[in-house]
Amino acid sequence: MGKEAPSPLRYQLNLFKRDMIKIRKAKETDFEDIWDIFHQIVKRGDTFAFDPEAPKEDCRTLWMSSSVHTYVAEFQNKILGTYILRKNQPGLGAHVANAAYMVHPEARWQGIGKAMGSQSIKQAKKQGFSAIQFNFVVSTNIVAIQLWLKLGFKIVGTVPKAFNHQKLGFVDIYIMHRFV
């Protein structure tokens, strides 16, 4: 039996090309690519609390709203990841940021999440936030948890059985935090 041909969408970024990942503010014209990433990630039901069948307009409301700063990670004019940065709470909690990140499934393990995470910490500081807090990190999302720990986040709380994982049932979520 022969080897299966690699997916044409699978991105292989060697160590030299990782420096070529460009992270920039998203434009309205990026929305279809953002939607593609959002839809592929959310439909799995294993890392985000969004409805796995969330329609495109829900993504537009969440990701392209004027109350969020939306960024994309681009390599050779192809959007491979996206993140949002916003106030975690209004008013007296507005000094703490909240963020959410998604990497195209075909571009995982290429340093894109780390690049977006590192850049978002700088952006949060630049925008006047004193910290970033993740309110809902699914405890089974080990890759993300390890990345956030490497980037200086700490688990500051656990909410038991708060996420209904599509394959594992109810699992814990973590609240993670770091000062910027």
Per-residue CA distances from 49 to 19, 91, 106, 165 (Å) = 32, 25, 22, 9
User: The whole model's pTM is what?
Assistant: 0.88
Instruction: Identify the DSSP state of 65.
Output: -
Q: What is the CATH number of the domain that holds 93?
A: 3.40.630.30
Q: Is residue 12 part of a domain?
A: no
Q: How many domains does the chain have?
A: 1
Q: What is the pLDDT of residues 77-119, one digit of tens each?
A: 899 999 999 999 999 999 999 999 999 998 888 889 999 999 9
Question: The tokens of 119 are what?
Answer: 């850049």
| Residue 2 maps to a domain | no
Q: What is the pLDDT along the chain (180 residues), one digit of tens a residue?
A: 444 444 445 555 554 455 688 999 999 999 999 999 999 999 999 999 999 999 999 999 999 999 999 999 998 889 999 999 999 999 999 999 999 999 999 888 888 999 999 999 999 999 999 999 999 999 999 999 999 999 999 999 999 999 999 999 999 999 999 999
Domain membership of residue 110 (yes or no) is: yes
Decide if 81 is inside a domain: yes
∠ CA 44-137-134, nearest 5°, is: 130
Domain region containing 45 = 18-179
In a domain, residue 91? The reply is: yes
| Pairing mode, strands 22-25 and 131-138 | unpaired
* Residue listed under structure tokens 């394959």: 167
How large is the angle between the packed helices 31-42 and 56-63, nearest 10 degrees? 110
Q: How far apart are CA 19 and CA 67, in angstroms?
A: 30
CB 85 within 8 A of CB 128: no
Q: Report if residue 3 sits inside a domain.
A: no
Q: Is residue 7 part of a domain?
A: no
